[in-house]
Structure 1
Amino acid sequence: MMPEKPIFVTSNKNKLREAEAILGVKLDRAAPNVPELQSLDFAEVASAKARAARAALGDPNAPVIVDDSGLVVNAWNDFPGALTKWFLRSVGVSGLLKMLSAFPDRSARSVCVVAVSASSGEIHLFRGEVEGEIADAPRGAAGFGYDPVFVPNGHRRTYSEMGDEKHENSHRNRAFNALAVWLTAGRKG
């Protein structure tokens, strides 16, 4: 039986649009409520999420794609990492900036790991990272999460100030481009 169209598990329509643009294919979208492993390790979280999503969808004959992304602050020994969503929900960008104010090192990485659960159940991982630093104050109106304070190396603007330009070489773009190369090589299932 031929594999079905890949299913991207996300509740964020903007992530779906971005993933489809990078991959050059239409994806089915699903948003089952799946438990999310709590760990600083993006690959561990994305792998567990991909397995849980495949099970929640009834083990479809299609690749199931998930992503996990976040901010890694070097001065904090890679925290909040894969816990970024929960961290920002709790303290917000202003809390992040206040806590970081005691540290002279403002370097950070924006990380995305895409996990694909093949119809065989095998998990394939694709990682994208962008080095940068945390700005002193939020800037820009576009984006979400830590976009107003993350400045990629080689730039003066935050992800929020970049608008759609962010997507040209973002952490998510790098991870999904790695997936696109893998899919192009015919490893879809």
Structure 2
Amino acid sequence: MLQLVFATNNAHKLEEVQAIIGNKFNLKSLTDIGCHDDIPETGVTFQENAQQKTDYLVERFDVNCFGDDSGLEIDALGGEPGVYSARYSGSRDMEQNIELVLERLNGQASRKACFKTVISLFLAGRQYFFEGAIEGRIIEERRGDGGFGYDPIFIPNGYSRTFAEMSAAEKNLISHRSIAVSKMADFLNQF
């Protein structure tokens, strides 16, 4: 069974990805390999940040691995929060990040948004990239208790519920991360 290290300690992300790729791969977290470092994310694009994660792990642990970077891009905010989604308010407190988004969108007619994910996979000495995106809109107040991040304020196009109101299985069928992970899983199945 192929072992892959996912450059995260986020339990939600790990569960989401494991559910998508199934049991064909032995998925490990950073903690599982003894990596307790805060891997830098200094890129200005999702791809740069994702690649920084895999480069870091390859240099220090010499493992097959993948890292992702995801974010929310809002048209009326010029693409913000973008690569700064996790720390948009200056902290990693998602409640503060959501509040800032809602505050900055107050009075805006357009609430169009897009969640994006880029995955960098390092496998057998080569680098590969996979992308996923889902369009939607930002609502005016939080709804739902599931998910994480901006899920309580994002409704994907064609739906009436936020990601936070959907079950994990339902969200995994359509999310930006699931699209990118599914592309990677298809690639891995043919590798």
Give percent identity, aligned residues only: 34
How far apart are the structure 2 equivalents of 1:172 and 1:37?
21
Q: In 1, distance between residues paired with 2:76 and 2:3?
A: 42
Q: Which residue of 2 aligns with 1:181?
A: 186
Does the Cα contact within 8 Å between 2:20 and 2:172 map onto a contact in 1? no
Contact in 2 for aligned 1:73/1:106 (Cα 8 Å): yes
Partner Cα distance (1:169, 1:14) in 2: 16
Q: Distance in 2 between matches of 1:98 and 1:104?
A: 13
CA shift in 2, pair 1:183/1:36, >3 Å: same
Q: Which runs of 5+ in 2 are unaligned?
A: none
Amino acid at match of 1:180: A
2:28 equivalent in structure 1? 28
Q: What is the alpha-carbon distance in structure 2 between the residues aligned to residue 49 and residue 161 of structure 1?
A: 31
User: Is 1:55 matched with 2:59?
Assistant: yes
Please identify, of 104-113 and 25-34, the stretch whose mean Cα deviation from structure 2 is larger.
25-34
Q: Deviations over 1:72-95 (max 9, x none)?
A: 111122111121001153632122
Aligned to 2:84: 83
Aligned to 2:120: 115
Contact preservation (8 Å) 1:37, 1:49: no
Residue 147 of structure 2 corresponds to residue 143 of structure 1: yes
Counterpart code for 2:69: D
Q: Which moved more, 1:11-20 or 1:139-148?
A: 11-20
What's the CA shift for 1:102? 3.6
Distance in 2, Cα, partners of 1:181 & 1:4: 14
The match for 2:13 is 15
What TM-score does the superposition give when structure 2 sets the normalisation length? Answer: 0.87
Which stretch shows the higher mean deviation, 174-183 or 45-54? 45-54
TM-score, length-scaled by structure 1: 0.88
The answer to whether structure 1 residue 168 and structure 2 residue 173 are counterparts is yes
Superposition deviation, residue 38 in structure 1: 4.0
**Residue number among 101, 105, 108 corresponding to 1:100 in the alignment:** 105
State the Cα RMSD in Å: 1.7
Match of 1:42 in 2: 46
Check conservation: 1:38, 1:83, Cα contact below 8 A: no
In the TM superposition, structure 1's runs of 4+ consecutive aligned residues that sit over 3 Å from their partners are none
Name the structure with the higher helix share.
Answer: 2
Letter in structure 1 aligned against 2:178 = N
Give the deviation of 1:139 after TM superposition.
0.5
One-letter code aligned to 2:131: R
Give the CA deviation at 1:44.
1.5
